[in-house]
Structure 1
């Protein structure tokens, strides 16, 4: 087939072009955006975002960022198509002398922090917003301490993502739609909370350092609720919260004298508010994860990804995935383009590659 003449492409009606481009996959759209400034603006337009929202449903990617990497890229793995992608974050306004850290993520936005600011961005549209408030000043000041402020992100709608932070015993909420911070009047009932948190069914969940208690904050009612951990009074070597689908899970290491020997998953059943064991990792896999973090369990973090639960650590560029649907355990294939400079400081999140996430 002969190539279509350029005059025909040039006179292609706008609505026809939108329909054609709207059916492209994410990788092709990223390349299309780089052709010209006109195409870049077109992909970022409100009409295109609306069309894309109606016609294309994308699966989330596993995004890995390494703060020690001299090249500012996120490595993203498409678990459906089994492909790796590079996502540039060079467009962010940061000083190269300061470490850029991936702090949190919603399903459609990433949150980075430096020593002086916090930035929300959509890496596909390359739109970003610097957050400014006394809360952010406190967050950036406390980031390098052992007891970091608890923080989480959630997508409430296509045009509204929220950043939730515990600041001086209060819940502080930021909305991208309103572009303002709101401090809740009710004080946080506990103070010994881990810095990571999750969002599920309208509530933010926090776990205590000993994994003995779970705190739930109902966003609509502005109410706190305290739950027992999955092991009750029997402490875990470590415990991490995960939100996956419409359920909350705890991933924990079970052992003796603070040494984890096995890795287990529990699910919270909201009807009875009881924890039920889901599965335990094969011994070789759990041992590999523990040895990868040199048995420093503070290096381990977990997160939900589609219908799967992911486990990794900051000192090792590997991810262990448990599929809730298939009840299988697998490792993500190693990234083939990982820089030799990247030896530690790995951070993984689940991110939906969409052009609809607004900043």
Structure 2
């Protein structure tokens, strides 16, 4: 019987098992000579959770998985849902493949000494692959991919905060929040590099006590929309001062939200336009800087979709919030399980349907975040 075994590197033949129950084995010498671009392609088909397992296999895998080119090509971006009825996992929506996934979450590892603290954790923010949770008397900043975490104590106890924001950049991250429930109104900023809090006092009440509002990071500042009469204020991280850099907003606004996108190079305004406190349309503007700052209308929400959105929030516009996600402006409501989004590149509006893992009778408390896994963001 003729041997059909392939020759090996030394010209000799190697027996290949033919039993259907025994899978063929790849010669280690062949695997080691596999071009890196082919290895990159093979690994891209693996589920995201398996990437971390491969780190301990060999140094080559670890360096490849953590290379910026691999992360850029093969990491997915998700819309992450936090809801009281999904406390043991986070539903993830992949906007590229339009599919739902589940992200199991266990905070027991980063909280080994805080018995029961994980059960009280509440997700506050997501930024650049980092998640920030509130805990009793502290915050937890956590990277699910690398399992790195940090528990950050409140600057004072007892402590009440609002307008909480997490700003993550390649140079580190900051926690921002305001505290105005006492006679002393203060702004607190935590610097990850220095591992310390910085306190800035302010006397003017320039923002509402809407704890749902989050700042929009744009060109080194954190931007907010004030209550009526609407205006925009910003907090400068370098000076610790509040400013009003943009003097005018479009007329007849009933509510207004901000998002920053395009690599933090563009600032968008999403607003309801109407009269007597009732919004009749939803519009998107972009801030242009040529020849002075001005708002330029980008698109309006079609009437049918606008009627659905307004019926969802029952004219309680404080329940609406917006955020940027990979070229999309997402419009959400705390008491509605669907997301309305505007695709900037095509100027089209779409609804993302309800997550199938949610119960049919879901209570309010839908909180969506843009979650982009990042190996290089360290807590």
TM-score, with structure 1 as normaliser: 0.81
Q: Does 1:76 align with 2:87?
A: no
Residues 1:212 and 2:230 aligned together: yes
- Residue in 2 that maps onto 1:155: 168
Q: CA, structure 1 residues 247+80, in 2 after alignment: closer, same or farther (shift >3 Å)?
A: same
Alpha-carbon offset, residue 324 of structure 1: 1.2
Q: Does 1:309 align with 2:309?
A: no
SS in 1 for 2:318: helix
Q: Does 1:332 align with 2:352?
A: yes
Contact 1:69–1:341 at 8 Å: present in 2 too? no
Q: 1:189 to 1:50 in 2, by over 3 A?
A: farther
Structure 2 CA distance for aligned equivalents of residues 353 and 253 of structure 1: 32
C-alpha distance in structure 1 between counterparts of 2:345 and 2:79, whole Å? 18
Aligned residues of 1:98 and 1:115 also touching (Cα < 8 A): no
Shift of 1:314: 0.8
Structure 2 alignment gaps of length 5 or more: 1-15, 18-22
Contact 1:254 1:263 in 2 (8 A): yes
**Shift in CA distance, 42/167, structure 1 to aligned 2, threshold 3 Å:** farther
Whether 1:240 aligns to 2:257 is yes
CA deviation map 1:35-75 (0-9, x unaligned): 6xxx5667999954873323331353211111x12542111
Matches within 5 A, 1:1-359: 3=23, 5=25, 8=28, 20=39, 24-25=43-44, 28-33=47-52, 39=54, 48=63, 51-57=66-72, 58-66=75-83, 68-69=84-85, 71-91=87-107, 93=111, 95=116, 99-134=120-155, 137-138=158-159, 141-142=160-161, 149-157=162-170, 160-168=172-180, 169-184=185-200, 187=202, 190-193=205-208, 194=210, 195-210=213-228, 212-226=230-244, 227-231=246-250, 234=252, 236-245=253-262, 246-271=265-290, 272-340=292-360, 342-359=362-379
Q: How many residues are matched? A: 341
For residue 177 of structure 1, give the secondary structure of its aligned residue in structure 2.
coil
Name the CA distance, whole Å, in 2 between partners of 1:213 and 1:249.
Answer: 14
Q: Distance in 2 between matches of 1:32 and 1:314?
A: 33
> Whole-Å Cα distance in 2 between the matches of residues 198 and 123 of structure 1?
23
Q: Following the alignment from structure 1 to structure 2, what is the Cα–Cα distance between the partners of residues 50 and 219?
A: 34
Does the residue aligned with 1:285 lie in a helix, a strand or coil?
Answer: helix
SS at structure 2 position matched to 1:56: helix
Aligned to 1:145: none
- 1:19 deviates by 9.1
Return the TM-score normalized by structure 2.
Answer: 0.77
Deviation at 1:238, TM superposition (A): 1.6
Q: Deviations over 1:168-212 (max 9, x none)?
A: 43332223333222234x737543245321101222101112261
How far the C-alpha of 1:322 sits from its partner, in A, is: 0.4
Q: Does the 8 Å CA contact 1:164/1:172 hold for their aligned counterparts?
A: yes
Q: What are the superposed Cα offsets for residues 89-127 of structure 1, whole Å, 9 maximum, x if unpaired?
A: 222547389654321121221112245432211123333
Q: Secondary structure at the match of 1:55?
A: helix
Q: CA deviation at 1:270?
A: 3.3
CA contact (8 A) 2:55 2:62 kept: no
Cα distance change of structure 1 residues 30 and 294 upon mapping to structure 2, 3 Å threshold: same
**Higher RCO structure (Cα 8 Å, ≥6 apart):** 1
Report if aligned partners of 2:335, 2:363 keep a CA contact under 8 Å in 1. Answer: yes
Hey, what's the Cα distance between the residues in 2 that align with 1:17 and 1:86?
31
Structure 1, unmatched stretches of 5+, are 143-148
Between stretches 76-85 and 331-340, larger displacement belongs to: 331-340
Greater strand content: 1
